[in-house]
Amino acid sequence: GQNIDQPTEMTATEGAIVQINCTYQTSGFNGLFWYQQHAGEAPTFLSYNVLDGLEEKGRFSSFLSRSKGYSYLLLKELQMKDSASYLCAVSHGSSNTGKLIFGQGTTLQVKP
């Protein structure tokens, strides 16, 4: 079957660093996405990894290990506005379809 696992909830302190892990088992792999979703809003795209290694974008970084079926999203210098749900998604199947399967999301609460 196809499965994506993320922790349900995490709590961190403003200014700190937090790492959100994601493990996956899918039929085929064309890339891994991370999204941020604030309550009541649509998900916004954060990052896309297709090769192993670390991709850095400002305060956010995403890492992928395809052999381990593992990714993490690293958030640095946490701000209160980073309180949101973070969704891990894997693109699978034929590469031209772009179909995504999502994890249940990790709700991050940033405290002062």
Q: Is there binding between residue 48 and another protein (CB under 8 A)?
A: yes
Q: Is there binding between residue 111 and another protein (CB under 8 A)?
A: no
Could you give the CA distance from residue 78 to residue 110 in angstroms, rounded to a whole number?
A: 7
Angle at CA of residue 85, ends 100 and 103, nearest 5°: 30
Q: Measured on CA atoms in the order 13, 49, 33, 59, is the torsion positive or negative?
A: positive
Q: Considering only residues 9, 41, 56, 77, which one is a binding residue for another protein as defined by CB under 8 A?
A: 41
Size of the site for another protein (CB under 8 A): 23
Residues 6+ apart with CB under 8 A from 93: 27, 28, 30, 99
- The 64-103 site mask, x for binding another protein (CB under 8 A), equals -----------------------x-x-x----xxxxxxxx
- Residues found near another protein in the complex (CB under 8 A): 31, 33, 35, 41-45, 48, 50, 87, 89, 91, 96-105
